[in-house]
Amino acid sequence: MEEKADSECLQDWFEITIPNGIKYDKIWLMDSLQTYCRVTFTPVEFHYIKYEARFYIQDANVAAALKDNNCKICDEENKKISIFVTPSPQPQSFQTRLKPEEIEQLKLTMYKRYDSSQQCLDLQSLCFDPDLENYDVDIILNESNCMATIVQIIEQNFPELLSLNLQDNELYQLDGLSDIMQLVPTVKILNLSRNELGSVEEVRKMKGLKLQELWLYGNPLCDAFPDQSAYMSAIRACFPTLLRLDGQKLPPVTDSDVPEIIKPCKESYQGSETLKNLVLQFLLQYYLIYDYGDRQDLLSVYHEEACFSLTVPFSSEDPALSSLGEYLNYSRNMKTLEDPDLRVQLLKNTKYDIVESLCMLPRTQHDLNTYVVEMCVQTETMVYFSVNGVFKEVEGKSHGSVRTFTRTFILTPGTNSGLYIVNDEMTLRTIGTQETQNTDVMPGPNCCPVLSVGQQEMVQAFSSQSGMNFHWSQKCLQDNGWNYSGASHIFSLLKNEGKIPEEAFQQTP
């Protein structure tokens, strides 16, 4: 009898996994599952891991109902959604609940901080609130149980909440807060400034919340972007309805904000300077997303049936080969790959498989100043080119390692005037010590370039926007303290007054 009771207890919680779930908006996904599920359920600790969406439910009947709908629900592209259901221990937010008397004191403290006229809840520096300290209530918002309790109190007592301030709470992760999207979707203003959020991945956990105003300044993630434009683009991709970021009004959405990275024009297919600028603009925007944004956003760049392969040239004499371990598992080197099934598996031939593979690779920073671009073929329906360059890994076992790469792209116009990648081949190799010393093009890990990677990318972006060459674009940014918007304003004023010399627009070969 005791064994049966223990077994039933273990079966009380279930983990639900949606492969490729990261491409779905949380609210849309939950609404779709709820529509088809015969039992009402409340998802707990919804989160994304790599390319999967996961959450927990507490009910064997709900688990069975969700399992019955495996591959029966279709997304907007008519692709079937897989649903995997597995027994699970209690989620973390339910394992160490606050005591009832502590929850009551927390609730009283939150009532004192609520402005009913503005429907605003100010939880700034909550962990240092005197009322909580006097009653020895220890609130650590990075612990999922504490944040989950706060979200539940908000749902039960402030269901029409419009503004939530979580400033100065030492937050470095937002797992517990993600449930607010489902429980309190009315929130329009969220203040997360002066916390410890290290990457946009944490902010992306709130994706789906219909925010109009967001504050993030004072978090380490704000320094992870090459310029303000890249920062705004990455955050806006998470919250399309956003009107203000860090107190600044965002510019209205324009044609340049559509998902396609770039748009072609007829002139670009004539081998002109415009074609060169088109390719450079493509590379700039592609790698800004690849390095600093959400790689899932690259879905809009690939054709539905695009192909992608990654190759690491085999060299048993290369002592640094072991550092490429995170790439070797994906290498489709036909000289060394004997398994015919693996050859097929490693050739990615849909945009979802491609982006899923790219998301699994380490985070990087590409040095645009090292790029060498070769145009191979151009027609009215195709642009075929390759790019050689250098990047540095910024995470994983080989953090700080420098790689050389060759990337071959074939682009074609899409039905809605965008350019799409139909073929993408990536070749990687390490930079040996001797090679690093003998090359002026590929800086090794000990080099000290005049400009940082972020500054180089900022100059490249400014050059593309202003039409000035690299030297004058760099000068304009340096003279304005690397303030991109300030430099743009000064450039516009000087250009209108005719004070910019012609040499500034002469492109060096």
Instruction: Check pLDDT > 70 for residue 63.
Output: yes
* pLDDT for res 467: 82
In whole numbers, what is the pLDDT of the chain averaged over residues? 78
Q: Token pair for residue 291? A: 């390095």
Domain with residue 461: its CATH number is 1.10.8.10
pTM for this model (two decimals): 0.49
Domain final residue pick, 36, 67, 90: 90
Statement to judge: residues 290 and 190 lie in one domain: no
Position 306 in a domain: yes
Helices marked H in 120-255: 130-134, 144-157, 180-183, 200-204, 228-238
Position 448 in a domain: no
* pLDDT for res 167: 93
Residue 194 neighbours by CB under 8 Å, 6+ apart: 167, 168, 217, 218, 219
Residues 194-248: pLDDT tens digits?
A: 999 887 778 877 877 889 999 999 998 888 776 787 788 788 878 888 899 998 8
Range of the domain at 165: 95-255
* pLDDT for res 19: 80
Statement to judge: residues 160 and 224 lie in one domain: yes
Statement to judge: residues 372 and 482 lie in one domain: no
Q: What is the mean pLDDT of residues 62-88?
A: 86
Statement to judge: residues 424 and 330 lie in one domain: yes
Statement to judge: residues 85 and 135 lie in one domain: no
Statement to judge: residues 334 and 475 lie in one domain: no
Residues 311-352: pLDDT tens digits?
A: 887 654 444 455 677 788 788 887 777 788 888 888 898 888
Q: What is the mean pLDDT of residues 115-128?
A: 90
* pLDDT for res 440: 35
Q: What is the 3-state secondary structure (H, E, C) of 129-155?
A: CHHHHHCCCCCCCCCHHHHHHHHHHHH
Give the count of domains, the chain. Answer: 4
* pLDDT for res 120: 93
Burial class (CB in 10 A: 0-12, 13-18, 19+), 305: exposed
Residues 191, 169 contacting (CB under 8 angstroms)? no
* pLDDT for res 484: 67
